[in-house]
């Protein structure tokens, strides 16, 4: 006897929101991806999460540029190409239309592109039509510098191209589970020399000795959109900045630390591995950078593609 189909997950109100899947607009609860899609079978794809505030997709151009870089690294070709204008421009148009269709005032849009559906072969067939999937989420955003966050550190066992925002996130999921087990908000990945790289969904900046320290861009970290905005803000504020990784062994000397990400915003890191960071509360530079980031979001262009 063939068993009955498993019940669809109950998505509640979210299931009635519109989504986009390969050119079709339909309720999220009705979306179905092909079982041979390489994103499902191999994690063969990339994604972006775009913050929506005031009905606007913030810094969409920066997210699309990073999406294009990830697609190029994985050699996934969108119809029209991965540059602007071209296939990436179509992804941006989908994102903006999705915000309007969902009536989304505050929340986020998830964008994912996979290599597409084909035979289950590690060497991908040529010329597969990529899968484009996008859906909205309605949720509030915590104001910058309004939360005190805790983290745990863990050796970095992720793949060697963390600059590519791949959908293959098993190692990050394990790190997030370790953080949850420790009643913490985030996991921080540590390199073989004790260098702190980044969080599971955030970048890290540390103030020590009157200077901001953060891991430089490269294969070991994701080039965070919010991180880049903060570094520009720090320079404008005249805050000394060095793109060199903070060290886990030197945390007793930290004056303050921040975690930043698209949906996290900028928040104070006040505990690491159960021990206080700095004074165990948000510091002066955290508040100044949070105000600068809020100003940038308020002046972000409303149409970036």
Give me the residue spans of the domains in the chain: 12-138, 148-298
Q: Band of the pLDDT at 9, cuts 50, 70, 90?
A: low
Name which residue leads in pLDDT, 126 or 255: 255
pLDDT single digits (tens) 109-119: 999 999 999 88
Q: Quick one: average pLDDT of 89-105?
A: 96
Name which residue leads in pLDDT, 79 or 3: 79
DSSP string, the chain: -PPPPPPPP--GGGGGSEEEETTEEEEGGG----TTBHHHHH--EEEEEEEEETTEETTHHHHHHHHHHHHHHHT---TT-SSTTTHHHHHHHHHHHHHHHHT-SSEEEEEEEE--B--S-SSPPTTPPPEEEEEEEE---PPTT--EEEEEEEE--S-S-TTS-BS--HHHHHHHHHHHHTT-SEEEEE-TTSBEEEESS-EEEEEETTEEE-PPSBTTB---HHHHHHHHHHHHHT--EE-S--BGGGGGG-SEEEEEETTTEEEEEEEETTEE-TTSS--HHHHHHHHHHHHHHHTS-S---
Q: Band of the pLDDT at 126, cuts 50, 70, 90?
A: confident
* C-beta separation of 256 from 286 below 8 A: yes
Class of domain 12-138: alpha beta
pLDDT single digits (tens) 130-180: 999 999 999 999 999 999 999 999 999 999 999 999 999 999 999 999 999
Q: Band of the pLDDT at 8, cuts 50, 70, 90?
A: low
Give the pLDDT of residue 40. Answer: 95
pLDDT single digits (tens) 186-213: 999 999 999 999 999 999 999 999 999 9
Whether 2 has a pLDDT exceeding 60, the answer reads: no
Give the pLDDT of residue 304. Answer: 42
Token digits of residue 47: 């994604």
pLDDT single digits (tens) 250-304: 999 999 999 999 999 999 999 999 999 998 999 999 999 999 999 999 988 755 4
Give the pLDDT of residue 287. Answer: 96
CATH 3.40.50.300 matches 148-298: no
Give the pLDDT of residue 81. Answer: 61
Q: Band of the pLDDT at 4, cuts 50, 70, 90?
A: low
Beta strand pairing status for 45-53 and 186-190? unpaired
| Helix 284-298 / helix 225-237 crossing angle, nearest 10 deg | 110
Q: Band of the pLDDT at 82, cuts 50, 70, 90?
A: low
Whether 235 has a pLDDT exceeding 60, the answer reads: yes
Give the pLDDT of residue 79. Answer: 73
pLDDT single digits (tens) 24-70: 999 999 999 999 999 999 999 999 999 999 999 999 999 999 999 99
Between CA 268 and CA 64 the distance in angstroms is 28
């Amino acid at each position: 006897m063939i068993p009955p189909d498993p019940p669809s997950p109950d998505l509640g109100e979210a299931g009635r929101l519109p989504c986009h899947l390969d050119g079709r607009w339909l309720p999220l609860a009705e979306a179905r991806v092909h079982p041979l899609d390489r994103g499902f079978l191999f994690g063969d794809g990339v994604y972006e999460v775009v913050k929506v505030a005031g009905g606007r997709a913030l810094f969409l151009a920066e997210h699309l540029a990073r999406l294009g870089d990830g697609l190029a690294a994985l050699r996934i070709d969108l119809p029209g190409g991965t540059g602007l204008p071209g296939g990436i421009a179509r992804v941006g148009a989908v994102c903006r239309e999705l915000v309007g269709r969902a009536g989304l005032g505050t929340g986020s849009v998830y964008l994912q592109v996979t290599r597409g559906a084909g035979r289950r072969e590690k060497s991908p067939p040529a010329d597969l039509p990529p899968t484009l999937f996008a859906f909205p989420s309605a949720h509030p955003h915590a104001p910058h510098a309004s939360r005190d966050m805790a983290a745990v550190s863990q050796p970095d066992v992720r793949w060697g191209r963390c600059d590519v925002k791949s959908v293959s996130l098993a190692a990050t999921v394990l790190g997030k589970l370790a953080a949850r087990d420790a009643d913490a908000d985030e996991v921080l990945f540590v390199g073989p020399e004790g260098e702190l790289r980044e969080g599971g969904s955030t970048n890290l900046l540390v103030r020590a000795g009157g200077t901001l320290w953060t891991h430089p861009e490269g294969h070991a970290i994701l080039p965070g959109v919010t991180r880049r905005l903060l570094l520009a803000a720090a320079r404008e504020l005249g805050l000394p900045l060095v793109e060199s990784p903070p060290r886990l062994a030197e945390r007793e000397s930290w004056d303050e630390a921040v975690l930043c990400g698209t949906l996290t915003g900028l928040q104070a890191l006040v505990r690491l591995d159960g021990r206080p960071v700095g004074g165990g509360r948000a510091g002066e530079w955290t508040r100044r950078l949070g105000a600068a980031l809020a100003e940038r979001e308020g002046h972000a262009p409303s149409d970036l593609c």
